[in-house]
Amino acid sequence: MDSLWNYFKNLFDKAGESSPSQPLIHEMIVRSDEEREDYAHWKKTLVCRRLEDWINNQYAIYRVTPRDIDEAIDFLDTPSSKGFVIHFSKTRYSRRDATHFFDFLKEQVLGLEYRSQISDLRTYNRPDWVETIERHYLKPGPRIRKEPQEDGRFLQKYGNITIELELRNEQVFNLRFRATSYQDSLFKEAREFEELIQRIVG
C-alpha cells in the first residue's frame, strides 16, 4: 500500500514540475497485439481511404487557391519544412481513426526507404489541460545517405520526417506531418513535397 501511495504522490509531484522541456511522462510507443490487429483491419476500411483522398484533394486545392481549403486542414510551406496539420478537433473522426492514421502515415513513409528513428509519447501538465504528444520520427535509410553523389553531395530524399498526434485531456486535437530538409551544401536538394504527398496518400 505504501508503494502505491508513493507512486501517486510522485506522479502528482511531477505534474507540478512538468514544463515544455520536462514532460510528466515520457515513454516509448508500443502497440499491443490487439491494437496491431485492429490497425490491420482499419487500414482496409473506407475511413482510411477517405482520409487519404481528402488530404490529396485538399493539397491539390491548396496549390491553386490556398484560401479555399477545408478549415480542418492547414499546409506548411517554408524553404526547409513542408507538411500539413489535420485539425481533428474540427472533424467527426474518432480517436481510433486518428491513432490508426498516425500509424498508417508512418508505415507509408517506411515504404519509401526510410527507417524509424524513434516512436515516443510525452505528456505535459498544461494550465488548462493535460497534453499528450505521440511522435514518430523517421530518417532516410542508410543506403540512401551512405555514399555521396558524383558532385560530392549526399542525398536526403524528402528530408527527416516527423509525425505527431496531439491529444488534450485524452481527446484528439490535431495531427502534424512535417518533412524537414537540410539547407546545407553537403546535401542535394530534397525531393518535392508534392511527390511525397502522392507517395503516402495518392
Rounded mean pLDDT of the chain?
Answer: 88
Alpha helices in 24-94 (DSSP H): 33-42, 46-64
From 77, 114, 104, 115, select the one nearest 165 (Cα to Cα).
104
Contact 121, 25 (CB under 8 A): yes
pLDDT at 188: 82
Q: Could you tell me if 42 and 96 are in contact, meaning their C-beta atoms sit under 8 angstroms apart?
A: yes
pLDDT, tens digit, 9 for 90 and up, residues 140-188: 987 655 555 667 677 789 999 999 999 999 999 999 999 999 877 777 8
The beta strands (E) that lie in 35-170 are given as: 73-77, 81-86, 114-125, 130-140, 160-168
Low-confidence ranges of the chain (pLDDT < 50): 1, 4-5, 7-9, 11-18
Record the cell numbers describing residue 79, joined without a space.
524553404
What's 158's DSSP letter? T
- Prediction pTM value: 0.86
Measured CA to CA, the distance from residue 19 to residue 126 in angstroms comes to: 8
| Residue 84: its H or E element | strand 81-86
Residue 156 has a CB neighbour count (10 Å cut-off) of 22
Phi, psi of 33 (to 5 degrees): -60, -40
Rounded to the nearest 10 degrees, what angle do helices 33-42 and 95-110 cross at?
A: 80
